Amino acid sequence: MNFKHVAILGAMPEEIGEITNQIHDKKEIFYGDLKVIQGTWNDVERKNKILISVAWSGWGKVSSARAATRIISSIYLGEKVDFLIFTGVAGAVSNTLRQWDIVIASKLIQYDMDARPFFEKFVIPAISKDHISIDDKLLKWTQSSLENSKKKDLNLRDFGTINIGKIATGDKFISDREYLEEIKLQIPNLLAIEMEGAAVAQVAYQEKVPCVILRTISDSADEEAATSFDIFLKKYKLRSWLLIECLLKNL
């Protein structure tokens, strides 16, 4: 991949982790209350320098879409953003998934979009689509970057299986198995559920910026979800940078 300026976005500070300690020549830009930190990351092994813009958006579709729009319009050292990575945690929908398993979204659905009778359920009127697909080449690159790094790097041992599939997004933290079962019935083969991915993917699609949405399973969106999520996040924040680093190292 030949990207020069990569935007990295998460919903919470824990999801972007210690990236801000890993970049140099830092500067901050404020868009209202949104802080975007820019800097350069040096890939020592490959003697490669990558320009980075990083931010955390806050939870939900509006906050993440707003942050995605802002961050991809930022310019650093004269370069426009040419790749967007959204990274963070998600609730498992598929019962094959466990905490620390990774899901790379191939298709993203806004499960709370319902403009019937004008549009079919889930269709996003602005783009006349009921899902956003991620570019196949980018998916394969993300998968192989993570798989190769996982084989080599002991620091990644906590992470589990690497999966590619459907992610659903909506403005609700799901901690109710019955509610989740209803969504599962409407969207077959769903792997994970979260609150930002499909909003960010819509912005990237409309703005024609390549993007990947990468999620690590934190909970099972069931009655224990809030507790699992809280405990998981404390551990995850120490490791979230490692996933981002895997991708940057393979650019």
64-123 positions binding ligand ADE, by CB under 6 A: 89-91
How many helices (H) and strands (E) the chain has is answered by 8, 12
Interface with ligand ADE includes 174 (CB under 6 A)?
yes
Backbone φ, ψ for residue 89 (5° rounding): -105, 165
Catalytic residue among 15, 101, 194, 196: 15
Catalytic residue among 14, 101, 219, 245: 219
- For residue 121, the 8-state DSSP code is T
Rounded to 5°, angle at Cα 240 from 238 and 243: 135
Residue 139 CB neighbours (<10 A): 16
10 vs 91 by CB, closer to ligand ADE: 91
In whole angstroms, how far apart are CA 118 and each of 28, 126, 132?
43, 12, 19
> Closest approach of Cβ 57 to ligand ADE, in Å?
13
Contact with ligand ADE (CB under 6 A): which of 85, 195, 199, 248?
A: 195
Closer residue to ligand ADE in complex, CB, 3/229: 229
Binds ligand ADE by CB under 6 A, chosen from 129, 171, 173, 239 = 173
Nearest residue (CB) to ligand ADE, 119 versus 173: 173
Residue 154 in tokens: 């002991």
Could you tell me whether strands 102-110 and 83-92 are parallel, antiparallel, or unpaired per DSSP bridges? unpaired
The residue whose Cβ lies closest to ligand ADE is: 91
Q: Where along the sequence are the contacts to ligand ADE (CB under 6 A)?
A: 89-91, 173-175, 193-195, 218-219, 221, 225, 229
User: Which residues are identified as catalytic?
Assistant: 15, 219
